[in-house]
Amino acid sequence: MAEAFLQLLLDNLTSFIHGKLVLFFGFEKEFEKLSSMLSTIQAVLEDAQEKQLKDKTIEN
C-alpha cells in the first residue's frame, strides 16, 4: 500500500519537476540527474519494504 503511494508520488513529482525545469530553464541534464536520484530512492524504499516483510515472516 505504501509502495503504491510512493510510486505515485515519485511519478507525479518527477513529471512536475521535468515540466518546470525544461519549460522555464531548459535544464534537461539536471532533470536527468534528479530523475536518477529519485529512481535510486525508490529502489532503496522497495528494498527496505522487502526486507521488512521478510523479517516479519521470520519472526512469525
pLDDT at 1 over 70: no
pLDDT at 8 over 80: yes
Mean pLDDT of 29-45: 88
What is the pTM (predicted TM-score) of this model? 0.56
pLDDT at 59 over 70: no
pLDDT for residue 11: 86
Give the dihedral of Cα atoms 42, 45, 50, 54; nearest 10 deg. Answer: 170
pLDDT at 60 over 50: no
- Alpha-helical segments (H) within 1-60: 2-20, 28-59
